[in-house]
Amino acid sequence: MNMLEAIILGLVQGLTEFLPVSSSGHLVIVQKLLGVDDKGVTFEIFVHFGTLVSVIIYFWKPLWRMVLSIIPPFKEEYAKDRKMIFYLFLASIPAGIVGFSPLKDSFEGVYEKPEVVALLLLVTGALLFLPRILSRRKGQREIKAPSALAMGVGQALAILPGISRSGSTIVSGMLAGTKSSDAAEFSFLMAIPAIAAAALLEFRKLEGVESALLQNYIIGAVVAFISGLIAIYTVLVAIRRGKFEYFGIYCLIAGIAAFCYFKFGTV
């Protein structure tokens, strides 16, 4: 992997990890287009670390409050933060079950089928329109246990490349009646254990990094970190301005174009 490929893949990972357009789907498509076959587990760990740091830095205040909430004596002012920890744990259960089930191996086979990934991008595009189509009134509730669990199910579905993790979780929360901005922020907080768990699983397969590649991997991680911050800000602004469906339009266009290219060799 050369430096330019590391920059491009780091940019794709950082932006699409948090934009509701599927990071895994975009990485599959971009890798195939670039002809990059040596991305490997090591690079995955580096870029995942970059995106993990970006979400931790962006949400450091609520995360710090959660830390304070579990330090004795348990102050009443942090009761809401302790509940948030429980909701994050609850939301992580469905993905954990799928991640350690035999289904995971079946889903991973999709990574070798870019035309299927393109079709799943179309599914993501359709999902992003569901809140406007199905909800007669905007969600007003804060995150509660049912909505956290619903968002967890959405996250579990995103094990399929082409299904956006942030998109499916935010939509699940909104359909459960949660305020859109709260659903988006909770979705990003959910990404912390999800990304950390994925990185830990990959870390077990980590091999020594060639010195010639280490610089490129670090650059890819830095690009993923910066673009991850930009993506988080972009999604939150789009949610507050009611422009969430714009990402759905993009997914539909990208999915159709990618399917035509990989299936028929033309766009």
Does residue 257 contact residue 47 with C-beta atoms inside 8 Å?
Answer: no
**Which parts of the chain have pLDDT scores under 70?**
37-41, 103-106, 108, 135-140, 202-210, 266-267
Condensed to tens digits (0 to 9), the pLDDT of residues 6-44 reads 899 899 989 998 999 988 888 888 888 887 765 556 777
- For 116, residues 6+ apart whose C-beta sits below 8 A from its C-beta are 110, 162
| pLDDT at site 96 | 86
Whether the link from the prior residue into 114 is cis, omega within 30° of 0, is no
| pLDDT at site 141 | 78
Does residue 20 contact residue 170 with C-beta atoms inside 8 Å?
Answer: yes
| pLDDT at site 160 | 87
- Give Cα separations from 83 to 20, 65, 89, 191 (angstroms): 26, 12, 10, 17
| pLDDT at site 24 | 83
Q: Is 140 exposed, middle or buried (0-12, 13-18, 19+ CB in 10 A)?
A: exposed
| pLDDT at site 121 | 95
Enclosing domain of residue 28: 3-264
| pLDDT at site 204 | 63
Total domains in the chain come to 1
pTM: 0.89
CA distance 143 to 151: 10
